[in-house]
Structure 1
Amino acid sequence: MEELLTEYRAYLFCERGLVAATVRYYAQEARLFLTRSGSGELRELTAGTVTRFVVAEASVRSTGAAKLMVTALRSLLRFLLLTGRVETDLVSAVPAVAGWRLAWLPRSVRPDQVRVLLESCEQNRLVGRRDFAILTVLTRLGLRAGEVAAMELDDIDWRAGELVIRGKGNQHDKLPLPVDVGQALVGYLRAGRPTSSYRQVFLTALAPHQPLASGSVCAVVGRACVRAGIERIGAHRLRHTTATSVLQAGASLEEVGQLLRHRELNSTAIYAKVDHGRLVSVTRPWPSGSPS
C-alpha cells in the first residue's frame, strides 16, 4: 500500500498539478478506501465494493465532506485504471452525493466584526504583527488559507505594487497590492518575521521556525475570534466577506470573479444572492388583488 500511495502522490503532483494540501487529502482518502477494500486484491475490486464504501462514508459525513470524498475516490480509481492495477473503469460506480449548486447563501462577516478581529492583534508583539498581517491579507484580498500559507517573499513586487498568488492547480495570478496590505506585510517582515532560510512569508512564532500550513492560518483566525469575543469563524468566511463588500461597493460579478480568481462565472454567481440592490431591480411586482 505504501508503494502505491507514494506513486499516487507523485502522479497527483506531477500529472495533475495539485497543491500539497490537496495531495495529502486525496492520499488520506485513498488510504481509507484501500484499507476498507483490501489493497492486496485490487484486480478483484468490484463496483459493489465501491458503492458500498461511498454509501457508508456519506452517511457519517456532511454533504460538502461527502462530495470531496467522492471526488478523491474517482481520482484514485482513474489512477488505478491508468496504472493497470484494475482492469475495469470503476469511476461510474461512484454514486453522486445529493446536493444542489447555488443553493446556499455566502455568509459574510459584518464590518464591525472585521474591525475587532484586526484590533485583537497585539502589534507590540511579534506574533501579533504576524497575525495582523495574515488577517489583513485575508480580509482585503479574499485569499484562501492555503494561498496565504504559500506566499513567498519573491511573490511581492514592491515597486510594481503587485502580489503573485499561488492558487489552485499551481495557477499563478497577480493581484494589486493595496497600501494597507503592504504596510501590514512590511510591519511583520521588518519587526516580526524570524530570521530563516525559508522563502515563505509567514513562519511559526516558536522555534524551530517553519512555514505555516493552511491549517495554521485557519487557527490564526480562530484565535482572533476568541480574543475579539465573537462567534468563531473560518478563514473562508473572510473570503466571502471580501467578495460581498466589493459587490456592495458597486463592483460587477465579473470583477468579483477576477478578484477571487474564479475560472468560471458560475462559481461567482452565488454572490448575486447578496446583491440586494440589483435583485430589487429585476424583481417582478406582486400581482394586484387578493391571492386566491
Structure 2
Amino acid sequence: MSAATEAFLAMLAAERGAALNTLAAYRRDLGGAEEAIGDLAAVERDAVAGLAQEWASLAPASVARKASALRQFFGFAMDEGWRGDDPSGALPAPRSRRPLPKLLGHDQIAALFARAEDDAMGNEPRAVRQLALIELLYGSGLRATELVALPLSAVPRDAPFLTITGKGGATRLVPVGARALEAVGRWMAVRPALPASRFLFPSKGGAHLSRIRLYQLIKALAARAGLDPAQVSPHVLRHAFATHLLEGGADLRVLQTLLGHADISTTQIYTHVDAARLVALVNSRHPLATRATSD
C-alpha cells in the first residue's frame, strides 16, 4: 500500500480509535482500489470514475462501503495537502437499504437456552462457559467483540452492571440480569486457572476467546437445539435482545444506550418489529381506540 494510505490508516487508529476489524476493512477496500487504479493520493478523476466498472459485479452495499472509504481518504489527502482536488464526486453512489437483521422468535430462543442448560447440567467447564456466553449475548446485547474481550475486572461485584468498551473506544454501562449473573458465577467457579490471562473467557495461550470460535460455538449449539445454524449467530442474539426488549415496551433511546449506538437511526433499523404488532399496539393504546365511531 502507498505511504499516504498507511498514514490514513494510522490516523484512523490514533485519532478516531478505530477498532482492529474496522482498520482491516479499510485496508482491504483502499488496497483493492490502489491495485485497480494506482496511488490514491495522485490518481486522476477519470481513473476514479472507472471504479464503477471495476465494482460492477458487487452488491450495492459493498460498493457503498468501498466508496465511503475512498471519500474519507480523499478528504484526508486534501487536509494533508497531498491533493488539490477531491475526485470523490466521480465515485459510484448506489442506493441501498440496510438489510434487516435475522430474527429469532421466543420459541427458538427458548430451545437454544434449553439445550445450553442441558449441556451445562454436569458442570463441565466448556458447557458452563457456553451458557455464560449466550446469557450475556441475549441478556445484555453485547457485540461479539465486546463479549470475548471482557476482562476479569468486568465481572460485577457491588452492582449488576458491566462496563463495556465498544466501538471507537466508547464506554457504556450495561445491566446484567439475574440469569446471566448466575451463569457467569458458575463459569467463574470452573474457569481454568490461567494467571497470565486477564480475560473472563481466556484461550489456552492467555489471550481471549476469538470471535471465530464464538461463532463456531453458537452455531454448533443451534444445530444441537434443532435450529438452522445459518440463522443463528452472536449478532442474531444481540438483535433478539433488542427486538424482544422493544416488544416488551422498552424505550428506543434506552435501547440506543444499551446497544452502544452513536446514531438512533441505527437502533431503529436494528430493533425492527413487524407491522402487525405495531398496528395492534396503536389499536390497544391510542386514546381514541376505545371510543365508538359516530354514524
Which category describes the TM-score, using the shorter chain as reference length? 0.7 to 0.9
- Cα distance in 2 for partners of 1:99, 1:90 equals 22
Cα distance change of structure 1 residues 158 and 2 upon mapping to structure 2, 3 Å threshold: farther
Distance 1:278 1:160, change over 3 A: same
Bigger drift between 230-239 and 269-278 goes to: 269-278
1:228-243 correspondence to structure 2 within 5 Å: 228-232=225-229, 233-243=232-242
* d(CA) in 2 for partners of 1:194, 1:53: 53
- For residues 2 and 188 of structure 2, the distance between their equivalents in structure 1, rounded to whole angstroms, comes to 40
Q: Secondary structure of 1:157's partner?
A: coil
CA distance in structure 1 between the partners assigned to 2:264 and 2:173 by the alignment: 19
Residues 30-179 of structure 1: pairs in structure 2 closer than 5 A = 30-39=30-39, 42-57=40-55, 59-100=56-97, 104-121=99-116, 122-123=119-120, 124-179=123-178
For 1:83 and 1:198, locate their aligned partners in 2 and report how far apart those are by CA, in whole Å: 41
TM-score (normalizing by structure 2): 0.81
Listed one character per residue, the Cα deviations across residues 32-54 of structure 1 (whole Å, up to 9, x for unaligned) are 22222223xx4540223223225
* Structure 2 gap ranges (5+): 284-288, 290-295
Kept after mapping to 1: 8 A contact 2:247/2:273: no
1:41-73: CA deviation from partner (whole Å, max 9, x where unpaired): x4540223223225423x333333333322223
- What SS is found at the alignment partner of 1:173? strand
Question: Cα offset for 1:195?
Answer: 0.6
In 1, distance between residues paired with 2:104 and 2:70? Answer: 34
Q: Where does structure 1 lack aligned partners over 5 or more consecutive residues?
A: 286-292
Relative to structure 1, the CA distance from residue 262 to residue 184 in structure 2 (aligned partners, 3 Å threshold; closer, same or farther) is same
1:223 has 2:212 as partner: no
* CA distance 1:227–1:196, shift in 2 (3 Å): farther
**What amino acid is aligned across from residue 250 of structure 1 in structure 2?**
G
TM-score norm. by structure 1 comes to 0.82
User: What is the alpha-carbon root mean square deviation over aligned residues?
Assistant: 2.8
Checking the alignment, whether the CA contact within 8 Å between 1:151 and 1:202 is kept in structure 2 is: yes
Partners of 1:181 and 1:62 in 2: CA distance: 39
SS of the residue corresponding to residue 50 of structure 2 reads helix
Distance 1:191 1:21 in 2: 31
Q: Percent same amino acid at aligned positions?
A: 24
Higher mean C-alpha displacement, 42-51 vs 238-247: 42-51
Tell me how far 1:140 sits from its aligned partner.
1.1
Q: For the residues of structure 2 that align with 1:73 and 1:194, how far apart are their CA atoms?
A: 46
- Could you tell me whether the CA contact under 8 Å between 2:165 and 2:171 is conserved in 1? yes
Superposition map of 1:137-286 within 5 A: 137-204=136-203, 207-232=204-229, 233-270=232-269, 271=271, 273-274=273-274, 276-282=276-282
